[in-house]
Amino acid sequence: MKNNPLEKLKTQLDIIFNPSSVAVIGASRDPMKVGHVVLRNIVEAGYKGRIAPVNPKAHEILGLKAYTSLLEVPFSVDLAIIVIPAPFVPQAMRECGEKRVKAIVVISGGFSEVDEEGEALEKEVLEIAEEAGIRVVGPNCQGINNTHVGLCATWPLIKCKGGISLITQSGTLGAAFSCWAEEEGIGISKCVNLGNKADLNELDFLHYFGEDKESRVIAFYIEGVSDGRKFMDIASDISKRKPLIALKGGRSPAGSRAVFSHTGSMAGSDAVFDAVFKQTGVIRAKSLEEFYDFAKVLAYLPLPEGRGVFIVTSTGGSGILAADACEDAGLTLTEPSEEALKRLRSQLPSRCTFRNPFDLTTTTADKFRLVIEENGGNPDIHGFIAIFGDPIPNAAEEIKAASESVKKPILVAYLGGGEVEKVEKTKMHSLGIPVFPSPERAVAAYSALVKYSEFRKRTENSLID
Amino acid sequence: MKNNPLEKLKTQLDIIFNPSSVAVIGASRDPMKVGHVVLRNIVEAGYKGRIAPVNPKAHEILGLKAYTSLLEVPFSVDLAIIVIPAPFVPQAMRECGEKRVKAIVVISGGFSEVDEEGEALEKEVLEIAEEAGIRVVGPNCQGINNTHVGLCATWPLIKCKGGISLITQSGTLGAAFSCWAEEEGIGISKCVNLGNKADLNELDFLHYFGEDKESRVIAFYIEGVSDGRKFMDIASDISKRKPLIALKGGRSPAGSRAVFSHTGSMAGSDAVFDAVFKQTGVIRAKSLEEFYDFAKVLAYLPLPEGRGVFIVTSTGGSGILAADACEDAGLTLTEPSEEALKRLRSQLPSRCTFRNPFDLTTTTADKFRLVIEENGGNPDIHGFIAIFGDPIPNAAEEIKAASESVKKPILVAYLGGGEVEKVEKTKMHSLGIPVFPSPERAVAAYSALVKYSEFRKRTENSLID
């Protein structure tokens, strides 16, 4: 089993995300330098392993004893983060080999992305790594993160634990996603920025996150793939178990020229990517916000059994916008049954709109639960979108209770609620209920849930046949 | 001139948004009641006129002397906000007539939106108002706001002053928009929620905001229009001077059924609305977020003279996503001139991507300004999109300086910047530079700017011909 190359890869990547000790080669005392920021973020994220800042001129950085060379570190080092100028990287790599470091993240730029000299340097780095049996992330990348062990070897500081793992060919897009997840309390699980992919590439991390229990959803931003055939095999395999969400840069001629300038990738025909994503069950996002929203909903909600959706709202206008968006997305607004209507009419004021969208008008959170529960047993209603307008307290508790009783996905939009909205949103996110800021974003996210559910059904049926 | 009905309307609506004194009929001591929230928001927004809480049982509310009846208020009352149950509204209206109140906002629901009885009540209210010569907003509405005088007769509390005026047929959508504008420091000018439109409707407020200097942009959410012909006349007239942005609920069959349930409006054929908006120069938003984004950009940026746009970024991935979105939107990514390239190559590191999108990679804010200024004179570049990834300080100051020197629109996206991003975004908004959270939203907003600019050119040319 140990000889299985995928098992070996798993062991190697485990070291990257769960090292017992970390060295930051190029740790700096200057708060403006990346070598300082990365060290500080590892410390502030609460990493529990041993940390060795390496800096030829410093004795202490951020209260940690610093070492003039990696070879002086008195304990063994699992993972080295390299943030020194490119020309010094090969020597640092050799010391890593000597020190028996198990994995390296090269944040430093100045390699193949720059010029031929950089390309030669990158080749040298790779050769040293191969000889020493060390796997490398980067170079020219924005690092890695595993919130579950506080290993924020990237920036900005991201600490909130969650179920989404991220693979990105752009440091900023990973950082933006992570910032939103941090701010909303959604959190991420692991994040890797690929950089130049001299050694490890998106396929390696896809495979690893595919097996990783903490990664409930894998979201990846790519500009091209290293091996199309292999990508299809891995993606089809993972999609059967957990959702994959893709954002692909370079859809258009202008974008694909920019892709070539950015990472030297060939963006490839967008129609081909589209077909590949469809076939392998990868949910494709059209924008960065969709990328985030789709991951958020797929990480937290159960899958609906069909396209029938019921909208319950305290805001008529938002219900209308949601209905428009549902129709655009091919979702079915199932009308409530006569029995459910009868029960609801006896419990709610006549000013409500007794249909789908169900408009409670001015109301309280328990009424949302009432409407959801009274329609929960309807076999043609496969999930709910609850839209809170106004500052309505206790939305979190009532939706949580409704979720537990109906056992169908309930997705929430909350808007126009000022301070109460902020409180309820935070509570809901901590309870695993995803909240969206507008009716249209809620419906788009819900559609992603339906799309993935339909893929899962198709593959399960084809397994049975 | 005083006999001109439009002049008269202006005088009447001036009273609504700039009253010397306000009575809240139904002011409550219970913090959960709307009658309390509205009074508190007027106080907390810093309204400087006299305030009269009217409540038959209270002597004092929120530190203000309360009156058992409007007729006991010892000073004259310009505007009355009514928040008592529907059946008591006619009597309150009569007292308003007696007291010579000049305008009334009826927040209370329970009128034509509910049943025939409510319809009769609404008719009665309207008759009393007409007899007394009082104009009425509502009933069944979420009130009004004029941040410039601190008159937040609505909820939640919105204080931030800005250039966008809002007309909405949905209280929550107005509130959501205002909350975003408050949170971002973009602010609003005036906001009115139409409710049942028993008297004043969207056309009246369109006309008023069209003449109002503080309203630089008018954003309106509608589900139908009261008079199509009149709408076209007013909209065409205003569009020549200032941007109108529309969000229309009930585009789809499901949405238009929901519209009928919500406000009894006929949503009408969406194709007709689309044609009307195009002809009258109204910029149509497809979602609530676009509605907000379009208003934000059109309120603050100068109009570009053409479709040529230049993207400068510190994040390659975001530049690619922006390029894809520009191509989708029919914008032209103009390449820099040879001279500009030469100047930039001598001042910037070779790792930059010297084309459009211009990728600065790891950089500082002054380099964004450099790139913008070096391309500022290019006649085929009509505006800029600057995308900051990473925590880059002083973005606000440098973009402000660049704006002043190139005199072309510069729209900013800022992402992945953690705490620095928040600081810079707030600074930019206070300097009148709109900032967007993703490349795609930035490009969509920029396209709205181009669309309105093209409409203005067409109408100016047709005036000359």
Min CA distance, B199 vs chain A (Å)? Answer: 20
B157 to chain A: nearest residue by CA?
A418
A350 to chain B: nearest residue by CA?
B114
Tokens representing A240 are 């059967």
* Residues in B touching A319 (Cβ below 8 Å): 258, 262
User: Quick check: A191 and A208 in contact, CB under 8 A?
Assistant: no
Longest CA pairwise span in chain A (Å): 78
The predicted pLDDT at position B252 comes to: 87
Which of the residues in chain A have pLDDT under 50?
1
Q: Does A255 touch chain B (CB under 8 A)?
A: yes
B439 to chain A: nearest residue by CA?
A288
Q: What does the alpha-carbon distance between residue B310 and residue B409 come to, in Å, rounded to a whole number?
A: 11
Inspect the interface and report whether the beta carbons of B287 and A416 lie closer than 8 Å.
Answer: no
Find out whether the peptide bond into A139 is cis, omega within 30 degrees of 0.
yes
Inspect the interface and report whether the beta carbons of B172 and A317 lie closer than 8 Å.
Answer: yes
The minimal CB distance from B109 to the residues A115, A287, A351 is found for A351
Count how many residues are written for chain A.
465
pLDDT in tens, chain B (465 residues): 456 888 999 999 999 999 999 999 999 999 989 999 999 999 999 999 999 999 999 999 999 999 999 999 999 999 999 999 999 999 999 999 999 999 999 999 999 988 899 999 999 999 999 999 999 999 999 999 999 999 999 999 999 999 999 999 999 999 999 999 999 999 999 999 999 999 999 999 999 999 999 999 999 999 988 888 999 999 999 999 999 999 999 988 888 888 877 766 666 788 899 999 999 999 999 999 999 999 999 999 999 999 999 999 999 999 999 999 999 999 999 999 999 999 999 999 988 999 999 999 989 999 999 999 999 999 999 999 999 999 999 999 999 999 999 999 999 999 999 999 999 999 999 999 999 999 999 999 999 999 999 999 998 877 665
- Residue B381: CB atoms within 10 A of its CB come to 26
Inspect the interface and report whether the beta carbons of A254 and B350 lie closer than 8 Å.
Answer: no
Q: What does the alpha-carbon distance between residue B462 and residue B275 come to, in Å, rounded to a whole number?
A: 19
Tokens representing A181 are 């997840």
The predicted pLDDT at position A464 comes to: 60
The identity of residue B379, as a single letter, is P
Inspect the interface and report whether the beta carbons of B114 and A439 lie closer than 8 Å.
Answer: no
* Residues in A touching B360 (Cβ below 8 Å): none
Q: Does B11 touch chain A (CB under 8 A)?
A: no
Q: Does A285 touch chain B (CB under 8 A)?
A: no
Q: What does the alpha-carbon distance between residue B113 and residue B301 come to, in Å, rounded to a whole number?
A: 40
Q: What SS3 state is found at A146?
A: strand
- Residue B67: CB atoms within 10 A of its CB come to 20
| Alpha helices (runs of H) in A133-194, residue ranges in sequence order | 171-184
Q: What does the alpha-carbon distance between residue B222 and residue B57 come to, in Å, rounded to a whole number?
A: 39
Q: Does A441 touch chain B (CB under 8 A)?
A: yes
User: Quick check: A267 and A223 in contact, CB under 8 A?
Assistant: yes
At residue A343, φ and ψ (nearest 5 deg) are -65, -40
Q: Does A439 touch chain B (CB under 8 A)?
A: yes
* Residues in A touching B365 (Cβ below 8 Å): none
Q: What does the alpha-carbon distance between residue A12 and residue A153 come to, in Å, rounded to a whole number?
A: 17
The predicted pLDDT at position B267 comes to: 63
Q: How far is CA B312 from CA A123, A286, B336, B364, B384, in A?
A: 31, 22, 11, 12, 7
The predicted pLDDT at position A265 comes to: 67
* Residues in B touching A325 (Cβ below 8 Å): 287
The predicted pLDDT at position A465 comes to: 52
Inspect the interface and report whether the beta carbons of A175 and B258 lie closer than 8 Å.
Answer: no
Q: Does B439 touch chain A (CB under 8 A)?
A: yes
Find out whether the peptide bond into B139 is cis, omega within 30 degrees of 0.
yes
The identity of residue A379, as a single letter, is P
CA proximity to A296, closest of A407, A193, A409 = A409
User: Quick check: B176 and B142 in contact, CB under 8 A?
Assistant: no
Residue of B33, B113, B172 for testing the chain A interface, max A β-carbons within 10 Å: B172
Handedness of CA B191, B196, B197, B202 (dihedral sign): positive
Beta bridge partners of B358: B312
Q: What SS3 state is found at A364?
A: coil
* Residues in B touching A110 (Cβ below 8 Å): 351
Q: What does the alpha-carbon distance between residue A174 and residue A9 come to, in Å, rounded to a whole number?
A: 23
The predicted pLDDT at position A370 comes to: 98
Inspect the interface and report whether the beta carbons of A262 and B359 lie closer than 8 Å.
Answer: yes
In what helix (H) or strand (E) does residue B23 lie, and over which residues does it extend? Answer: strand B21-25
Q: Does A238 touch chain B (CB under 8 A)?
A: no
* Numbers of helices and strands, H then E, in chain B: 16, 20
Tokens representing B240 are 């020549």
Identify the burial level of B132 via C-beta atoms within 10 angstroms of its C-beta, where 0-12 means exposed, 13-18 middle and 19 or more buried: middle
Q: What does the alpha-carbon distance between residue B205 and residue B165 come to, in Å, rounded to a whole number?
A: 10
The minimal CB distance from A318 to the residues B155, B172, B351 is found for B172
CA proximity to B22, closest of B108, B80, B69 = B80
Identify the burial level of B440 via C-beta atoms within 10 angstroms of its C-beta, where 0-12 means exposed, 13-18 middle and 19 or more buried: buried
Inspect the interface and report whether the beta carbons of A173 and B315 lie closer than 8 Å.
Answer: yes
Inspect the interface and report whether the beta carbons of B254 and A359 lie closer than 8 Å.
Answer: no
Rg of chain B on CA atoms, in Å: 25
DSSP code, position B71:
G
CA proximity to A445, closest of A277, A253, A304, A240 = A304
In what helix (H) or strand (E) does residue B286 lie, and over which residues does it extend? Answer: none
* Residues in A touching B351 (Cβ below 8 Å): 109-110, 113-114
The predicted pLDDT at position B1 comes to: 45
Tokens representing A104 are 């390296």
* Residues in A touching B221 (Cβ below 8 Å): 317
DSSP code, position A245:
E
Residue ranges of B 404-423 with Cβ closer than 8 A to chain A: 415-419, 421
Residue ranges of A 95-154 with Cβ closer than 8 A to chain B: 109-110, 113-115
Q: Does A155 touch chain B (CB under 8 A)?
A: yes
A436 to chain B: nearest residue by CA?
B289
Orientation of helix A288-300 relative to helix A439-464, angle to 10°: 60
Report pLDDT digits (tens) over A218-237.
999 999 888 889 999 999 99
Instruction: State the residue for tokens 């410039």.
Output: B148
Q: What SS3 state is found at A247?
A: strand
User: Quick check: A17 and A167 in contact, CB under 8 A?
Assistant: no
Q: Does B441 touch chain A (CB under 8 A)?
A: yes
Min CA distance, B261 vs chain A (Å)? Answer: 7
A270 to chain B: nearest residue by CA?
B324
Please give the interface size between A and B, counted as residue pairs whose CB atoms are below 8 Å apart. Answer: 259
Beta bridge partners of B217: B164
Identify the burial level of B419 via C-beta atoms within 10 angstroms of its C-beta, where 0-12 means exposed, 13-18 middle and 19 or more buried: exposed
Q: What does the alpha-carbon distance between residue B431 and residue B407 come to, in Å, rounded to a whole number?
A: 15
CA proximity to A244, closest of A182, A173, A307, A167 = A167
Tokens representing B14 are 């001036």
Q: What does the alpha-carbon distance between residue B414 and residue A78 come to, in Å, rounded to a whole number?
A: 35
The identity of residue A182, as a single letter, is E
Q: Does B424 touch chain A (CB under 8 A)?
A: no
Q: What does the alpha-carbon distance between residue A51 and residue A129 come to, in Å, rounded to a whole number?
A: 22
Q: Does A293 touch chain B (CB under 8 A)?
A: no
Inspect the interface and report whether the beta carbons of B350 and A439 lie closer than 8 Å.
Answer: no
A26: left (phi over 0), alpha (psi -120 to 50) or beta: left
* Residues in A touching B253 (Cβ below 8 Å): 327
Q: Does B393 touch chain A (CB under 8 A)?
A: no
DSSP code, position B147:
G
DSSP percent split of chain B into helix, strand, coil, nearest 5 = 45, 20, 35
Inspect the interface and report whether the beta carbons of B327 and A157 lie closer than 8 Å.
Answer: no
User: Quick check: B10 and B208 in contact, CB under 8 A?
Assistant: yes
User: Quick check: A208 and A232 in contact, CB under 8 A?
Assistant: no
User: Quick check: A310 and A356 in contact, CB under 8 A?
Assistant: yes
Q: What does the alpha-carbon distance between residue A237 and residue B79 come to, in Å, rounded to a whole number?
A: 67
DSSP letter for each residue of A409-421: -EEEEEES-HHHH
pTM: 0.95
The minimal CB distance from A288 to the residues B169, B249, B439 is found for B439
Min CA distance, A217 vs chain B (Å)? Answer: 21
Residue of B182, B324, B328, B361 for testing the chain A interface, max A β-carbons within 10 Å: B324
* Residues in A touching B115 (Cβ below 8 Å): 350
Q: What SS3 state is found at A379?
A: coil
Q: What SS3 state is found at B215?
A: coil
User: Quick check: A406 and A310 in contact, CB under 8 A?
Assistant: no
Q: What does the alpha-carbon distance between residue A352 and residue A316 come to, in Å, rounded to a whole number?
A: 10
The predicted pLDDT at position B264 comes to: 66
* Residues in B touching A333 (Cβ below 8 Å): 254
What's the angle, vertex CA A419, arms to CA A418 and CA A421, rounded to 5? 70
B175 to chain A: nearest residue by CA?
A416
B59: left (phi over 0), alpha (psi -120 to 50) or beta: alpha
Inspect the interface and report whether the beta carbons of A319 and B390 lie closer than 8 Å.
Answer: no
Q: What does the alpha-carbon distance between residue A464 and residue B7 come to, in Å, rounded to a whole number?
A: 75
Inspect the interface and report whether the beta carbons of B416 and A115 lie closer than 8 Å.
Answer: no
CA proximity to B331, closest of B252, B163, B447 = B447
User: Quick check: B353 and B316 in contact, CB under 8 A?
Assistant: yes
Q: What does the alpha-carbon distance between residue A301 and residue A434 come to, in Å, rounded to a whole number?
A: 8
Q: What does the alpha-carbon distance between residue A360 and residue A353 come to, in Å, rounded to a whole number?
A: 7
Count how many residues are written for chain B.
465
Inspect the interface and report whether the beta carbons of B255 and A441 lie closer than 8 Å.
Answer: no
